[in-house]
Amino acid sequence: MESFLVYSGGSFVRTSREHVVSGPFDGKPFARTWLAGVEEFEQSVVAAVAAFAGLKKMHAFERSSILREISEKITAREEVFAGIIAREAAKPWRYALAEVRRAAQTFFVASEEARRLPGEILSLDWTPEAAGREGLVKYFPIGPVAGISPFNFPLNLAVHKIAPAIAAGCPIVLKPASSTPLSTLELAKIIDETALPKGAVSILPMDRKTGNRLVTDERFRLLSFTGSPEVGWKMKEDAGKKKVVLELGGNAGTIVGASADLDHAVKRCLVGGFAYQGQVCIHAQRIFVHRSLFGTFAEKLVEGVRKLNYGDPLSPETDITVMIDEGNAKRVEAWIAEASEAGATVLCGSGRNGNYVEPTIITGAGPGMKVFDEEVFGPVVTLNAFDDFREAIKMVNNSLFGLQAGVFTNKVDELDMAFNELEVGGVIHNDTPIFRTDHMPYGGVKDSGLGREGVKYAMLDMLEPRILVKTIKNQ
């Protein structure tokens, strides 16, 4: 059984608490790591504070070349990383490999952004009182950053915190999900080989209580959390003076308008609805289809779901596999049952077996049912018909959440309405909400979060503007 040491303050360490990781697919322990305790936490924070002095003095080309080195080394070991992810997260190989490639790309983008910090010169002499003044605005790293990342993209969602932090010149202490800590610890080996000051990055698997120090410790200037809404919003309360970025979830909506290319829409909804068993923040949970297409759409989607290939995540043939754990599978099962009892129809999906939930499509769901109102984070989509496009917009907006939304349409006025009226962080045209590319601004409104990630956007929260009001001598 392979061991993955904790990466604390620039050293790989064992701690007193061994933590065995089992694969959700076969339930077998396959690797060992350790949980950091208060001691390692303290060591990491002290090292981060110390590393900041060096980090903030690094030249742009230094930060940039370190990030590029990491990117290239991830690529060189992409199959190793994909294997770890497939195993620890039960992510089908194809999606695991895609995640690794995205992580390499995220570091690559950061290697560019590290050289491209914003900076502007402002004329200040807009009034006689400010005659002779000129403003120079530069951006400076804020200091140590605390990062907490989830199980569903165990590598790339951690990288979306680590890479911008290095690019901005901020040290970071990151807590991966306890169920999936291995891919980031594998990454730590690569990071450790670079010229980064020791302590610039720490990767600490922790229990929740110890991990909560990331939220409350005032030596951090920013908390960046990706995870569930309840946990995230509570952290905001406890975060003290630090800035808080929250990337939470939602029950994202997709609208299929009357002018949509039906086959294309079905194909994309299969991916958006069932990739990684729906355990994706921007999972296409609620699909609204124009009544003229509804019947055919439902039929074809069911047909598509039936062709999904169940199996071992390590197999390249696998489309769908188990959920992260039985607790979640049971929750999803219960939500489906609740909807069914309340009058909704299950078009396909015959239920749960252990931590496997069969891909499920539900019609007739609506407000009041958890599968419609809350984040299902499982292989379930709801289908509803609509008559008027504006009505579909309202149904998508009728949610506590607002991360992304998908809109299939070829009408200019519908697309304008969708972009201008949907209360979300991103509207995806002719695709489902699941689309993301790693340099785009990404994040939610309403209960779905606070702030934006996407390398450059994540960096902006890790930087503080400072203006020099220059006085120009009258010459």
Q: At its nearest, how many Å lie between its own copies and the CB of residue 304?
A: 20
Judged by CB under 8 A, does residue 354 bind its own copies? Answer: no
Q: Which is nearer to its own copies, 32 or 439 (CB)?
A: 439
Q: At its nearest, how many Å lie between its own copies and the CB of residue 429?
A: 5
Judged by CB under 8 A, does residue 262 bind its own copies? Answer: no
Measured CA to CA, the distance from residue 142 to residue 169 in angstroms comes to 8
Judged by CB under 8 A, does residue 122 bind its own copies? Answer: yes
Give me Rg for the CA atoms of the chain: 23
Residues in the chain: 475
Q: Which is nearer to its own copies, 249 or 364 (CB)?
A: 249
Site for its own copies in 359-398 (CB under 8 A): 390
Measured CA to CA, the distance from residue 122 to residue 125 in angstroms comes to 9
Closest to 187 measured CA to CA, from 97, 88, 80: 80
Antiparallel, parallel or unpaired: β 172-175 and 145-148: parallel
Place of tokens 């009034």: 127
Judged by CB under 8 A, does residue 419 bind its own copies? Answer: yes
Judged by CB under 8 A, does residue 20 bind its own copies? Answer: no
Binding its own copies (rule: CB under 8 A), the pick from 435, 458, 459, 462 is 435
Binding its own copies (rule: CB under 8 A), the pick from 240, 327, 354, 368 is 240
The tokens describing 316, both together, are 């390249």
Q: Which is nearer to its own copies, 42 or 421 (CB)?
A: 421
Site for its own copies in 125-154 (CB under 8 A): 125-133, 135-138, 140, 142
Q: At its nearest, how many Å lie between its own copies and the CB of residue 366?
A: 24
- Choose the stretch contacting its own copies; rule: CB under 8 A; options: 287-295, 320-328, 341-349, 416-424: 416-424
Q: At its nearest, how many Å lie between its own copies and the CB of residue 469?
A: 5
CB 61 within 8 A of CB 101: no
CB 24 within 8 A of CB 323: yes
Judged by CB under 8 A, does residue 31 bind its own copies? Answer: no
Q: At its nearest, how many Å lie between its own copies and the CB of residue 121?
A: 3
Q: Which is nearer to its own copies, 132 or 327 (CB)?
A: 132
Long-range pairs of 81-86 with CB within 8 A, sequence gap ≥ 24: 81/155, 81/183, 81/186, 81/187, 83/314, 84/182, 84/183, 84/186, 85/154, 85/155, 85/180, 85/183, 86/313, 86/314
Binding its own copies (rule: CB under 8 A), the pick from 94, 219, 236, 330 is 236
CB 372 within 8 A of CB 251: yes
CB 149 within 8 A of CB 211: no
Site for its own copies in 71-110 (CB under 8 A): 98, 105, 109
Q: Binding mask 300-329 vs its own copies (x if CB under 8 A, - otherwise)?
A: ------------------------------
Bridge partners, residue 357, by sequence: 352
Antiparallel, parallel or unpaired: β 286-290 and 253-256: parallel
The dihedral over CA atoms of 363, 368, 372, 375, expressed in degrees to the nearest 10, equals -150
Query: What is the identity of the amino acid at 252?
Result: A
- Choose the stretch contacting its own copies; rule: CB under 8 A; options: 73-81, 331-339, 379-387, 415-423: 415-423
Judged by CB under 8 A, does residue 466 bind its own copies? Answer: yes
Measured CA to CA, the distance from residue 197 to residue 435 in angstroms comes to 35
Judged by CB under 8 A, does residue 445 bind its own copies? Answer: yes
Q: At its nearest, how many Å lie between its own copies and the CB of residue 254?
A: 13
Query: What is the identity of the amino acid at 92?
Result: P
- Choose the stretch contacting its own copies; rule: CB under 8 A; options: 44-52, 71-79, 305-313, 403-411: 403-411
Active site residues: 247, 281
Q: Which is nearer to its own copies, 34 or 435 (CB)?
A: 435
First to last CA, the chain: 74
Bridge partners, residue 139, by sequence: 465
Q: At its nearest, how many Å lie between its own copies and the CB of residue 467?
A: 5
Q: Which distant-in-sequence residues (6+ apart) come within 8 Å of 343 by Cβ? A: 364
Judged by CB under 8 A, does residue 208 bind its own copies? Answer: no
Judged by CB under 8 A, does residue 167 bind its own copies? Answer: no
- Choose the stretch contacting its own copies; rule: CB under 8 A; options: 117-125, 165-173, 208-216, 295-303: 117-125
Judged by CB under 8 A, does residue 353 bind its own copies? Answer: no
Residues touching its own copies, count (CB under 8 A): 81
